[in-house]
Amino acid sequence: MPLLKPDPTFYPSPRLAMQAPPEKHAFVAALNPPGSKLNDALLVVDVNPESATYGQRVGEVKMPKFGDELHHFGWNACSSALCPYAPHPHVERRYLVVPGIRSSRIHIIDTKPDPRRPEVVKVIEPEEIFARTNYSRPHTIHCGPEAIYVSALGDPNGEGPGGIFLLDCETFEVLGQWEMNRGPQFLHYDFWWHLGFDTLLSSEWGTPNMIESGVQPDLLLGGKYGRQMHVWDLRRRRHLQTLDLGEQQQMVLEMRPAHDPTKAYGFVGVVISLKDLSASVWLWHRNNGAWEVKKVIEIPAEPADPEKLPAMLKDFKAVPPLVTDINLSLDDKFLYVSCWGTGEFLQYDVSDPFNPRKTGSVRIGGIANRTAHPSKPDQPLAGGPQMVEVSRDGKRIYFTNSLYASWDEQFYPDDVGSWMVKLDADRDGGITFDENFFLESKDYRVHQVRLEGGDSSSDSFCFP
Amino acid sequence: MSDLWPWLAVFGLGMFHGINPAMGWLFAVALGLQEQKRAAVFGALPPIVLGHALSIGIIIGAVLMARMNLPHRTLKIAAAVFLFAFGFYRLLRTRHPTWVGMRVGFADLTLWSFVMASAHGAGLMLVPFFLPSPTAATMHHHDGHEMHAWAIANFSAPSLLAASVAVHTSGYLLMTAIIAILVYEKLGVKILRRAWFNIDLIWMLALMITGVFILVF
């Protein structure tokens, strides 16, 4: 049933969205660790500091089948419904679209009327996605102005090309491949857009067969994983330009364009450089109509005792930072960078996007360090900062510690564990752990976090 | 005065169409904000108005053609059924537009406005004013009333088409321009959160009621 006024969680501009009330619940993708017989689940975590159950699990919904590996999920509708060219603001932000990257199954989960008791209301089976899109391994969801966009790593056989397909945002019917002309694009991972410039950008990881059994050292050392970005005409669905980050760069993952639709730049994280195991963040920007890309942050590898390193890293005597997720606050001011390898979590002031300034750093977990959480200082932690989410007002940062099941085993072979933490961010720069928020999970590995009402990577805006 | 009221209504419906954020002013505001200049708001108005005028012009033209070629009763029933069915269909099937793109030129924006007005059945709302047949009016005239210069029935089809499109579009332009500049300069887009009522619901019900109205009267 359509609403009479716009959904209260829709904001015309990122600036207005920053005035949104603080979130009360977080939804967290939870996957069964290898060897477990559990079905994956979506957990509900209480993030209201006033509540007696603050920082605890207060609800969950199990997926109907085994072996999904829930990954990155998103909403059925968001602030892009206010976009002037395809307005439909009287739909509800209500359903989470939750894909399994292993199973290629997509779940539609209703978060109303009670966000603590979400329900699976529809399941899109992998066969339907294969038949209608010739894609598989769906993972990232963005609510576009006219449909739900879903990223997919590859084809049904686990080869390429990967790409994007569309779901109807009311019926959740699988509509088909998004691309009209993909040009030279083959590898795929993340995507997002600049709505004000009718431009979509995509990144590259690897085909399902290149990643599903773990990172393959021969492919990595041979530079076979993704190292490019692609620029697309969002309106005509055509490939426009390839941006090559260089042959040393491997695995170009999460993309965070400026939220302000009048700004034509954004950030993308690169997991590793073959030259020195460093990780980096690159800035893409528009210059005289063409898009360019430039490295703006480089994070060096940290020397470590080989005794503390997994087999794959022993010879290098160093821990690579492994930047696996980044996130940008809604005012485009602070960029957050997860270093899953070294266990460092960084905050940069990117008011001048060409010259990021480091303003904060905390450590937790890490391949060699195993840093504890301040609330339990005697308990070393495996895993590291990974999927990060920033509240709309930019004051609270949440992150979890697992990456992708088969890769977790390679980098943290003694068990990656499962925890979620929260940081408080100072609006002038600086981050600190909230000592009252340390969620450990014995049964599931926690992965992506979405905040009730929206967060800093859930919405797109058409007004500055 | 009784002869003027249909014209006022046609003008008023133009203003009503202009209020709807989905019908043009919001796009003009967005283009102004994207370009960061007021001139872009005004620049968007001509194509938006043109697209709207084309959409309602086609419907009015079609009714006037039909009026010349169909018995009055048949036309009335056909119009009533069409309006009711359109409103009912859109009420049940709330498909939203799937246009993608902020970088629009004159032709794009004209087409967009045409599509939005047509999809909302903007022209259909005007249909009842063009149904009265000249014969009925003539008989009315013979009853001893004066010749009414402004009576819609006294216009030839082409001049009636031109006049009604001009009157309707003036109302539409007036409202679109006022709201666009008010939101751009003063109110800001935050007003959308409070004031964007679901006009579609009322709109489609209005079409259905108009359909019934045509049949009954």
Please name which of A72, A84, A92, A189 lies closest in space to residue A146, comparing C-alpha atoms.
A84
Q: Do A91 and B27 touch (CB under 8 A)?
A: no
- How large a percentage of chain A has pLDDT more than 70? 100
Interface test with B, best of A19, A85, A168 (most B CBs within 10 A): A85
Place of tokens 């939750």: A98
pLDDT of residue B131: 84
Which chain B residues contact residue A12 at CB under 8 A?
189-190, 192-193
Token pair recorded at residue B210: 């108009």
Q: Do B193 and A463 touch (CB under 8 A)?
A: no
pLDDT of residue B144: 44
pLDDT of residue B91: 83
Contacts of residue A405, Cβ cutoff 8 Å, sequence gap at least 6: A31, A33, A34, A69, A102, A445
H-only helix segments in A31-167: 126-133
Closest approach of A2 to chain B, Cα-based (Å): 8
Token pair recorded at residue B35: 């370009």
Sheet strands (E) in A125-248: 136-143, 148-154, 163-167, 174-177, 191-194, 199-203, 228-233, 238-244
ipTM passes above 0.90? yes
Find the range with the poorest average confidence among A106-115, A377-386, B96-105, B112-121. Answer: B96-105
* Nearest residue of B to residue A148, measured between CA atoms: B98
pLDDT of residue A114: 96
Q: Is residue A401 part of a domain?
A: yes
Torsion of CA B47, B53, B57, B59, to 10 degrees: 100
- Among B103, B189, B201, the residue with its CB nearest the CB of A12 is B189
Please name which of B103, B111, B160 lies closest in space to residue B131, comparing C-alpha atoms.
B160
Beta bridge partners of residue A431, listed in sequence order? A425
pLDDT in tens, A5-52: 999 999 999 999 999 999 999 999 999 988 889 999 999 999 999 999
Find the range with the poorest average confidence among A7-11, A349-353, A440-444, B206-210. Answer: B206-210
Q: Do A6 and B112 touch (CB under 8 A)?
A: no
Q: Evaluate whether A214 touches A407 at the Cβ level (below 8 Å).
A: yes
Q: Do A463 and B33 touch (CB under 8 A)?
A: yes
Q: Do A87 and B21 touch (CB under 8 A)?
A: yes
Is any Cβ of chain A less than 8 angstroms from the Cβ of B196? Answer: yes
HSE, side-chain direction, 13 A CA sphere, residue A141 = 30
In degrees and rounded to multiples of 5, residue A22 shows phi and psi of: -60, 145
DSSP assignment of B80-128: HHHHHHHHHHHHH--PPP----S---HHHHHHHHHHHHHHTTTGGGGGG
pLDDT of residue A1: 66
Q: Is residue A111 part of a domain?
A: no
In degrees and rounded to multiples of 5, residue B164 shows phi and psi of: -70, -35
Q: Is residue A321 part of a domain?
A: yes
pLDDT of residue B198: 87
Burial of A462 (0-12, 13-18, 19+ CB in 10 A): buried
Q: Is residue A35 part of a domain?
A: no
Which chain B residues contact residue A87 at CB under 8 A?
21-22, 26, 96-97
B143 band by pLDDT with thresholds 50, 70 and 90: very low
Interface test with A, best of B96, B113, B116, B184 (most A CBs within 10 A): B96
pLDDT in tens, A230-276: 999 999 999 999 999 999 999 999 999 999 999 999 999 999 999 99
For residue B31, the surrounding DSSP H or E stretch is helix B25-35
Question: Which CATH number does the domain housing residue A346 bear?
Answer: 2.130.10
Q: Is residue A104 part of a domain?
A: no
What does chain B come to in residues?
Answer: 217
pLDDT of residue B156: 82
Q: Is the pLDDT of residue B203 over 80?
A: yes
Please name which of A181, A183, A147 lies closest in space to residue A165, comparing C-alpha atoms.
A147
Q: Is residue A115 part of a domain?
A: no
pTM, rounded to two decimals: 0.94
How confident is the model over B75-85, as a mean pLDDT?
Answer: 92
- What residues in chain A have their Cβ under 8 A from chain B's Cβ atoms? 2-6, 8, 10-13, 16, 82-91, 144-147, 170, 195-198, 234-235, 261-262, 462-464
Q: Is the pLDDT of residue A444 over 60?
A: yes
Angle between helices B38-69 and B72-92 (to 10 degrees): 140
Q: Is the pLDDT of residue A86 over 80?
A: yes
State the average pLDDT for chain A.
96
- Among A4, A8, A261, the residue with its CB nearest the CB of B198 is A4
Total domains in chain A come to 1
Token pair recorded at residue A309: 């390193």
pLDDT of residue B133: 59
Q: Do A4 and B33 touch (CB under 8 A)?
A: no
* Nearest residue of A to residue B189, measured between CA atoms: A12
Q: Compute CA A217 distance to the chain's CA centroid, rounded to the nearest angstrom.
A: 24
Q: Is the pLDDT of residue B142 over 70?
A: no
- Among A16, A89, A145, the residue with its CB nearest the CB of B196 is A89
Closest approach of A179 to chain B, Cα-based (Å): 14
From residue B196, alpha-carbon distances to A17, A140, A207, B20, B193 in Å are 17, 30, 44, 8, 6
Q: Is residue A228 part of a domain?
A: yes
Find the range with the poorest average confidence among A128-142, B159-173, B194-208. Answer: B194-208
Which chain A residues contact residue B97 at CB under 8 A?
85-88, 146
Burial of B18 (0-12, 13-18, 19+ CB in 10 A): buried
Sheet strands (E) in A209-304: 228-233, 238-244, 249-257, 265-273, 279-287, 290-299, 302-303
Q: Is residue A142 part of a domain?
A: yes
Strand order in the sheet with A74-75: A74-75, A95-99, A106-110, A119-124
pLDDT of residue A13: 98
pLDDT of residue B134: 54
Q: Tell me the residue range of the domain where A167 lies.
A: 14-24+84-94+132-451
pLDDT of residue B155: 77
- Residue with more model confidence, B93 or A326: A326
